[in-house]
Amino acid sequence: MYERTSEKIIPRNRFARRMAQHTFLVAAIMFFSILIGAAGFMLFEGRALEDAVIHSAYILSGFGLVEMPDSFAGKLFAGLYGLYASLFFLAAFSIIFAPIVHRILHRLHLDVDETAD
């Protein structure tokens, strides 16, 4: 997916396109994560769609619960979804910053005469 250290560094416009692709991937994963969370709150807590989306978005964003779930299944789901949200944060951070870190490391491994964009 990325260029090898023996290849020249990609131009800025291709790098911007790569960053946009990674950002879109994170946004898509976030959208499906909110859908899964909303479905869980609707199923286990009997929440309306708008309340379920707010609950799942708050947990996924790191704010925590809007209000404590009433049922045991809802509490269990909220806890497991919170653990998933922590993993989502780490994965999203990694996906977004992978091209940046790769570009920095690639630039460090190039010879001085090859660094021109």
In whole angstroms, what is the distance from residue 28 CA to residue 12 CA?
24
- pLDDT at position 111 is 58
Of the chain, the end-to-end C-alpha distance in Å amounts to: 19
CATH number, domain 12-109: 1.10.287
State the average pLDDT for the chain. 89
**64 dihedral zone (left: phi>0; alpha: psi -120 to 50; beta):** left
59 near 65, Cβ under 8 Å? yes
Residue carrying the six token digits 């460090």: 108
pTM of this structure: 0.80
Q: What percent of the chain has pLDDT over 90?
A: 67
Q: What is the pLDDT of residues 73-115, one digit of tens each?
A: 999 999 999 999 999 999 999 999 999 998 888 888 765 555 5
The alpha-carbon radius of gyration of the chain (Å, integer) is 20
- In 3D space, the residue among 30, 34, 67, 69 whose CA is nearest the CA of residue 53 turns out to be 34
Q: Is the pLDDT of residue 28 over 90?
A: yes
